[in-house]
């Protein structure tokens, strides 16, 4: 069986994540035990019963979400016989997508996203910034607001285009505050400050991006076995060169999620599964293309339901 697989990004973490997968699927326990060895600390304990404040730190949340996503993807392949035909991931989730596409081993991806999280965490300390979601304004309007509010060497830019009417902005704290105020004055339905440690997907993390790309290039990166829709270009990439180039821009470029899902809907007309913790991407798809259904595969119950459905077909 074939399906498009989409993978969530940061913000989907929660204490208890993955515990039911380990209890239900023995091979998943081996995966988490191996991850503890690779990282040199108990990421499994942090996920299953850790402190929420510690788990949500960028340097911890990123490997935790990737690990959960890869565990669920393995169950789909091994237990349900579902293989990806095209993949995409929201920001951090792009690394999970690359594992599913055969570009990176899960161990290398785990090491990379741990380093990615550390670099982003450090960038937030060196260049303090913030992010906010603007609901009910289109991209052009939000870009205009960002231009108006980028003054006195403080900048704010569009960071995520999640769906029509849901845009995330990022930049220096003062500039973000100004943009939030102007967006409200111009009729935004809602403006919400995000609980993040830095101005991600903005020029403020350019130093982290350069160091991350240097680190990525020390790993074995292969051509993709299936199409990968990149965040930075909202385009399908397959070759190693295209993938590295896309990743080299990802950290400072906006996440073109709405455009990426439009590409997915054009390229693939059948089944779509959100693989990993939460249902954020399912909700975004409703706003992007209301007629497209997204199944979810993040809990043991959801995975069991998919496995049972495939066994009935066989």
pLDDT in tens, 64-121: 999 999 999 999 999 999 999 999 999 999 999 999 999 999 999 999 999 999 999 9
Provide the pLDDT for residue 41. Answer: 97
Instruction: Note the pLDDT tens digit of each residue in 241-268.
Output: 999 999 999 999 999 999 999 999 999 9
pLDDT average, residue stretch 159-188: 97
Question: What is the count of structural domains for the chain?
Answer: 2
pLDDT average, residue stretch 219-239: 97
In the structure, what pLDDT confidence band is assigned to residue 19 with cuts at 50, 70 and 90?
Answer: very high
Provide the pLDDT for residue 310. Answer: 78
CATH of residue 279: 3.40.366.10
- Mean pLDDT value across the chain: 95
Rounded CA gap, 69 and 129, in Å? Answer: 28
Is 105 assigned a catalytic role? no
Question: What share of the chain has pLDDT > 70, as a percent?
Answer: 99
Provide the pLDDT for residue 313. Answer: 59
Backbone dihedral region of 171: left (phi > 0), alpha (psi from -120 to 50 degrees) or beta? left
Q: Which domain holds residue 67?
A: 2-125+204-313
Residue 300 has pLDDT above 70, yes or no: yes
Report in angstroms the alpha-carbon separations of 75 from 129, 207, 306: 38, 37, 10
Domain boundary among 163, 196, 229: 196
Instruction: Quickly count: other Cβ atoms within 10 Å of residue 144's Cβ.
Output: 13
pLDDT average, residue stretch 159-168: 96
Rounded CA gap, 255 and 162, in Å? Answer: 8
Report in angstroms the alpha-carbon separations of 237 from 9, 32, 208, 225, 245: 19, 30, 23, 10, 10
Domain boundary among 147, 170, 196: 196
**Pair 232, 288 in one domain:** yes
Domain boundary among 196, 219, 253: 196
**Pair 9, 157 in one domain:** no
Provide the pLDDT for residue 136. Answer: 96
Rounded CA gap, 304 and 293, in Å? Answer: 19
**Pair 7, 104 in one domain:** yes
**Pair 236, 305 in one domain:** yes
Three-state DSSP class for residue 42: coil
CATH of residue 136: 3.30.70.250
In the structure, what pLDDT confidence band is assigned to residue 171 with cuts at 50, 70 and 90?
Answer: very high
**Pair 271, 255 in one domain:** yes
This prediction's pTM: 0.96
Rounded CA gap, 313 and 311, in Å? Answer: 5
In the structure, what pLDDT confidence band is assigned to residue 309 with cuts at 50, 70 and 90?
Answer: confident
Q: What pairing do the DSSP bridges indicate for beta strands 130-135 and 190-193?
A: antiparallel
Three-state DSSP class for residue 199: coil
Catalytic site residue from 91, 130, 163, 253: 91
Instruction: Note the pLDDT tens digit of each residue in 133-156.
Output: 999 999 999 999 999 999 989 999
Rounded CA gap, 124 and 202, in Å? Answer: 11
pLDDT average, residue stretch 279-291: 95
Catalytic site residue from 68, 90, 172, 201: 201
Among 33-37, 79-83, 121-125, 296-300, the range scoring the smallest mean pLDDT is 121-125
- The beta strand positions in 188-229, using DSSP E, are 190-193, 227-229
**Pair 167, 86 in one domain:** no
**Pair 154, 117 in one domain:** no
Is 90 assigned a catalytic role? no
């Amino acid at each position: 069986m074939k399906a498009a697989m989409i993978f969530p990004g940061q913000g989907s973490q929660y204490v208890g994540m993955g515990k039911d997968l380990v209890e239900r699927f023995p091979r998943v326990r081996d995966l988490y035990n191996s991850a503890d060895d690779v990282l040199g600390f108990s990421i499994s304990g942090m996920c299953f019963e850790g402190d929420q404040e510690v788990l949500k730190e960028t340097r911890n949340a990123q490997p935790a979400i990737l690990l959960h996503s890869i565990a669920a993807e393995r169950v789909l392949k091994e237990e349900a016989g579902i293989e990806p035909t095209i993949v995409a991931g929201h920001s951090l989730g792009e690394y999970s997508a690359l594992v599913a596409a055969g570009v990176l081993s899960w161990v290398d991806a785990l090491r990379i996203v741990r380093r990615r999280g550390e670099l982003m965490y450090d960038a937030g300390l060196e260049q303090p910034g913030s992010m906010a979601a603007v609901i009910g304004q289109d991209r052009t309007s939000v870009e205009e607001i960002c231009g108006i509010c980028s003054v006195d060497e403080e900048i704010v830019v569009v960071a995520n285009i999640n769906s029509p009417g849901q845009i995330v902005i990022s930049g220096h704290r003062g500039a973000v505050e100004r943009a939030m105020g102007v967006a409200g004055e111009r009729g935004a339905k809602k403006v919400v400050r995000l609980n993040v440690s830095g101005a991600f997907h903005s020029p403020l993390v350019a130093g982290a991006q350069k160091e991350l790309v240097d680190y990525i290039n020390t790993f074995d990166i292969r051509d993709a076995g299936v199409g990968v829709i990149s965040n930075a270009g909202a385009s399908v990439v397959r070759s190693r060169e295209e993938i590295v180039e896309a990743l080299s821009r990802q950290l400072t470029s906006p996440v073109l999620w709405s455009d990426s899902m439009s590409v997915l809907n054009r390229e693939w007309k059948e089944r779509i599964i959100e693989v990993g913790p939460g249902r954020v991407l399912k909700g975004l798809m409703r706003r992007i293309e209301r007629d497209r259904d997204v199944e979810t595969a993040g809990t043991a119950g959801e995975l069991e339901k998919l496995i049972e459905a495939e066994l009935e077909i066989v």
